[in-house]
């Protein structure tokens, strides 16, 4: 028996000679399978992370956004229209009595302005120079002066005739109003412009859309 033969082995397993037997290399299939599986996991994680970054920078899935926008559009409905038009309380020019006063150094403005307002349907009260409190002290186009109740209807209607006029209230108990002509006054608003402004006052504002 050779010294290379372990005790108890013989027959076809007997090793003779003085040369070591050639040993086969270990099977590498398990190593290849494990390496392949690891590569798949890494690639999957990388792809998922890339998709997440794309969603972050593009705002998410386009289909989802479109569906959400469509649902929002379907849910958006205009608010109910007001039952009563605000313009219903506005007085007609024929119901407004206007006192016209001239606070400028130019003569004749009160009369010519009063005549034009009369042509446009307004009632004319007093015509003359402005009282001392306003004489040559109105730098703008004019001042509309009246009772506090005039702010609810009379002032808006009369203001359509004179662009840039300011309003002021006093303690009078009557319904008439004063138009005090200022130094910047040139003419009343063109009739077509004033009529368009009156028509706009008569139309209620469209109800806002609520979503």
Q: What is the pLDDT of residues 150-188, one digit of tens each?
A: 999 999 999 999 999 999 999 999 999 999 999 999 999
Residue 139 has pLDDT above 70, yes or no: yes
What pLDDT shows up at residue 86?
47
Is residue 103 within 8 Å of 135, Cβ to Cβ? yes
Where is pLDDT greater, at 38 or 203?
203
Q: Span 131-138, mean pLDDT?
A: 96
Residue 113 has pLDDT above 90, yes or no: yes
What pLDDT shows up at residue 147?
97
What pLDDT shows up at residue 83?
45
What pLDDT shows up at residue 202?
82
Cα–Cα distance for residue pair 78/122, rounded to 1 Å: 38
Look up tokens 């009739």; give the residue: 191
What pLDDT shows up at residue 63?
52
122-125, long-range: CB < 8 A, 24+ apart: 122/93, 122/94, 122/96, 122/97, 122/98, 122/158, 122/161, 123/94, 123/95, 123/96, 123/97, 123/98, 124/97, 124/98, 124/99, 124/100, 125/97, 125/98, 125/99, 125/176
Residue 101 has pLDDT above 60, yes or no: yes
Cα–Cα distance for residue pair 147/169, rounded to 1 Å: 5
Cα–Cα distance for residue pair 170/118, rounded to 1 Å: 24
Residue 8 has pLDDT above 60, yes or no: no
For residue 8, give Cα distances in angstroms to 4, 22, 98.
12, 21, 137
What pLDDT shows up at residue 69?
54
Cα–Cα distance for residue pair 119/131, rounded to 1 Å: 25
DSSP assigned state of 93: G
What pLDDT shows up at residue 153?
94
Give the pLDDT band (50/70/90) at residue 190.
very high
Residue 23 has pLDDT above 70, yes or no: no
What pLDDT shows up at residue 85?
42
The H or E element that residue 31 is part of is helix 29-58
Q: Span 119-141, mean pLDDT?
A: 97
Is residue 180 within 8 Å of 104, Cβ to Cβ? no
Where is pLDDT greater, at 136 or 24?
136
Q: Span 74-94, mean pLDDT?
A: 64
């Amino acid at each position: 028996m050779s010294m290379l033969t372990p005790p108890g082995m013989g027959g076809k397993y007997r090793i003779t000679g003085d040369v070591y037997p050639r040993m086969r290399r270990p099977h590498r299939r398990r190593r290849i399978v494990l390496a392949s599986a690891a590569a798949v996991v890494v690639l999957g994680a990388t792809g998922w992370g890339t998709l997440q970054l794309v969603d972050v920078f593009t705002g998410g899935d386009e289909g989802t956004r479109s569906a959400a926008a469509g649902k929002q559009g379907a849910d958006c409905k205009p608010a109910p229209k007001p039952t009563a038009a605000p313009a219903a309380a506005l007085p007609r020019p024929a119901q407004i009595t206007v006192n016209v006063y001239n606070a400028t150094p130019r003569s004749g403005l009160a009369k010519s302005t009063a005549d034009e307002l009369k042509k446009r349907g307004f009632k004319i009260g007093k015509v003359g120079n402005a009282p001392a409190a306003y004489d040559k002290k109105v730098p703008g186009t004019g001042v509309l002066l009246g009772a506090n109740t005039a702010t609810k209807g009379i002032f808006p209607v009369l203001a359509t005739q004179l662009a840039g006029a300011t309003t002021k209230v006093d303690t009078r108990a009557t319904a008439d109003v004063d138009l005090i002509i200022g130094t910047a006054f040139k003419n009343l608003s063109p009739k077509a412009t004033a009529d368009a402004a009156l028509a706009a006052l008569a139309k209620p504002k469209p109800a806002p859309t609520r979503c």
